[in-house]
């Protein structure tokens, strides 16, 4: 219905435009006004179409005017495409605008850098939109940065089907569009961005190595799978420029326009599947996915990792072994950290926050369970340990962590020298031993409900203010790592969270 409605509007525009020759006009005198003097179509990948951008052309005069021509300077050879007041093309004649009225011009492009003789990594493609000619000519610049990329995608078969991976078994197959990476595809460098379509799977007994400064982009419905006995190493390095993050490894969607920079759910997940081994992520940012990182009965070390804008969960761990330090996770539709079905976890100097505003959120920032309920059964596994030291667990809801224990399995946890948000004004949890905040074994020297004074939560900036933050100076001395996420030396007393406090 939505598409039919759009089609109806477009048809009306075309008909209306084609019927506008029955009023008296005067020739354009070069006094058109434009909503922009330059249209930047943002960055696109080679041979992948851009979004559609618009330019509004105004006739401010008291007379109906006729523009003899509206055209691209490169004419039919241009890689830009136009739609002028509902009519597609690249060259237009006798375009009319009523007095005190305006028209829309819609612009998009596709460009293949491989057609250039030098095959550059980046190319600034430009053209001009010309109005009229001679002494009355006016122009609007068109500018697009085109990036070359390495495209990885499942094979398309002659019968029209697409290569698939089976996430189930022979009796209960679960087929997804995907492919196994070949040996020559198992190192992602920083020379060009990578664009993945479908699931890219790391085969058993192979390692996917992602080098410092690499940029990995995922099309809608895509992700990475790390199979049993396979390994993923995403080893970035500290960056000198906090904004550019030139040495950070970044996993995100393939929409490069600024309007998509913080939109959740643009791709699926990085999934460390049951039995994967030796996984490690260092100075890595994962953003705009459905689930940032899914760890399924696997080990992983997470150091200086940031996970933002997940539609569901930032870090989802099931019966896994995780060591995390200097981590920041924020803005997730459900939880930032969800531990299910037990496992072993050690988090030091981490900031688990959730300031999600995209919809109603009924899940806490951090949830910990030793169970997992499926359609047919309730699984239980030992929570060997879940230790949080010098961490912040906070958000925009009153209770930002939850604990669920099944007595059939062990349930061991400790929050030490942490800052946490858990408001219980009615005493609903007063008699629950799991929430006995005076228990020195479970909550040694942990503070509750003190404002951490984050710098800019809406910008995923979780630096804390010196002298004002409830996390300032409450940390346990001697806890590694010695430097914070900004690379600043930690002093004693330590601060809780991923960052040492600063003066805003």
Q: What is the pLDDT of residue 241?
A: 86
What does the pLDDT read at residue 19? 39
| Mean pLDDT of the region 149-153 | 95
260-270 tens-digit pLDDT: 999 999 999 99
For residue 484, the tally of other CB atoms under 10 A from its CB is 21
The model's pLDDT over 356-389, given as tens digits with 9 standing for 90+, comes to 999 999 999 999 999 999 888 999 999 999 999 9
Could you identify the residue written with the tokens 């401010």? 60
d(CA 452, CA 450): 6
Record the tokens describing residue 464, joined without a space: 């804390």
Q: How confident is the model at residue 172 (pLDDT cuts 50, 70, 90)?
A: confident
- Candidate from 39-43, 220-224, 463-467 with smallest mean pLDDT: 39-43
| C-alpha dihedral sign at 503, 389, 370, 400 | negative
Cβ neighbours of 467 (radius 10 Å): 9
- Between β-strands 351-354 and 447-448, what pairing exists: parallel, antiparallel or unpaired? unpaired
| Token pair belonging to 86 | 């509902």
Average pLDDT over residues 63-90: 95
Confidence of residue 221 (pLDDT cuts 50, 70, 90): very high
Q: HSE of 282 in the Cβ direction (CA atoms, 13 Å)?
A: 15
- Please tell me the predicted confidence (pLDDT) of residue 460: 96
- Comparing CA positions, the residue from 450, 414, 405 lying closest to residue 432 is 405
For residues 30 and 133, give the distance between their C-alpha atoms in angstroms, rounded to a whole number: 9
Picking from 398, 365, 368, 367, the residue whose alpha carbon sits closest to that of residue 383 is 368
**pLDDT for residue 332:** 98
Residue 296, strand partner residues: 318
At residue 15 the predicted structure's pLDDT band, cuts being 50, 70 and 90, is very low
CB 365 within 8 A of CB 400: yes
- Residue whose tokens read 């996770």: 329
Task: State the pLDDT at residue 270.
Answer: 98
For 16, the enclosing helix (H) or strand (E) is helix 2-18
Residue 2 confidence (pLDDT): 36
**pLDDT-wise least confident of 118-122, 324-328, 344-348:** 118-122
Residue with more model confidence, 15 or 197: 197
CATH architecture of 21-147: Sandwich (2.60)
Q: Where are the domains of the chain?
A: 21-147, 150-464
Task: Give the 3-state secondary structure of residue 281.
Answer: strand
How large is the average pLDDT for residues 282-303? 98
Please give the Cα distance from 151 to 197 (Å, whole number).
Answer: 8
3-state SS string over 61-92?
CCCCEEEEEEEECCHHHCCEEEEECCEEECEE
pTM: 0.89
Burial class (CB in 10 A: 0-12, 13-18, 19+), 485: buried
At 85 the pLDDT is 85
Q: Which of the four pLDDT bands, split at 50, 70 and 90, describes residue 287?
A: very high
Question: How many angstroms separate the CA atoms of 167 and 400, rounded?
Answer: 33
């Amino acid at each position: 219905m939505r598409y039919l409605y759009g089609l109806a509007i477009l048809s009306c525009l075309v008909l209306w435009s084609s019927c506008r020759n029955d009023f008296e006009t005067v020739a354009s005198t070069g006094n058109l006004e434009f909503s922009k003097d330059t249209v930047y179509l943002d960055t696109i990948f080679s041979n992948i179409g851009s979004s559609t951008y618009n330019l509004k052309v105004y006739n401010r005069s008291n007379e109906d005017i006729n523009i003899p021509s509206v055209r691209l300077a490169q004419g039919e050879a241009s890689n830009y495409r136009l739609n002028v007041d509902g009519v597609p093309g690249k060259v237009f004649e006798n375009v009319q605008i009523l007095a005190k009225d305006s028209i829309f011009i819609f612009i998009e492009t596709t460009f293949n850098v491989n057609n250039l003789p030098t095959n550059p990594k980046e190319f600034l493609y430009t053209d001009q939109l010309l109005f009229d000619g001679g002494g009355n000519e006016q122009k609007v610049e068109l500018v697009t940065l085109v990036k070359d990329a390495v495209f990885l995608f499942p094979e398309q078969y002659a019968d029209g089907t697409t290569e698939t991976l089976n996430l189930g078994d022979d009796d209960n197959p679960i087929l997804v569009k995907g492919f196994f990476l070949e040996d020559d595809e198992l190192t992602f460098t920083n020379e060009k961005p990578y664009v993945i379509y479908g699931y890219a799977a790391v085969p058993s007994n192979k390692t996917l190595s992602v080098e410092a400064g690499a940029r990995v982009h995922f099309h809608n419905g895509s992700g990475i799978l790390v199979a049993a006995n396979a390994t993923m190493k995403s080893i970035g390095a500290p960056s000198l420029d906090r904004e550019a993050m030139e040495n950070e490894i970044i996993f995100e969607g393939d929409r490069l326009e600024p309007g998509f920079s913080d939109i959740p759910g643009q791709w699926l997940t990085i999934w460390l599947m049951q039995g994967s081994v030796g996984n490690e992520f260092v100075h890595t940012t994962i953003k705009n996915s459905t689930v940032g990182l899914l760890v399924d009965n696997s080990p992983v070390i997470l150091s200086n990792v940031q996970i933002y804008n997940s539609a569901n969960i930032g870090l989802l761990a099931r019966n896994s072994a995780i060591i995390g330090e200097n981590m920041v996770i924020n803005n997730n539709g459900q939880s930032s950290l969800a531990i299910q079905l037990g496992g072993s976890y050690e988090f030091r100097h981490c900031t688990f926050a959730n300031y999600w505003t995209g919809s109603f959120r009924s899940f806490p920032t951090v949830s910990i369970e030793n169970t997992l309920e499926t359609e047919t059964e309730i699984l239980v596994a030992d929570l060997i340990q879940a230790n949080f030291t010098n961490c912040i667990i906070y958000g925009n809801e009153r209770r930002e962590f939850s604990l669920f224990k099944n007595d059939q399995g062990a349930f061991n946890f400790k929050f030490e020298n942490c800052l946490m948000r858990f408001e219980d004004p009615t005493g609903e949890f007063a008699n629950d031993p799991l929430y006995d905040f005076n228990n020195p074994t479970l909550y040694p020297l942990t503070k509750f409900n003190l404002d951490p004074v984050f710098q800019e939560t809406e910008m995923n900036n979780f630096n804390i203010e010196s002298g004002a933050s409830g996390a300032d100076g409450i940390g346990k001395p001697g806890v590694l790592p010695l430097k914070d996420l900004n690379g600043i030396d930690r002093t004693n007393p330590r601060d809780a969270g991923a960052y040492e406090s600063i003066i805003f």
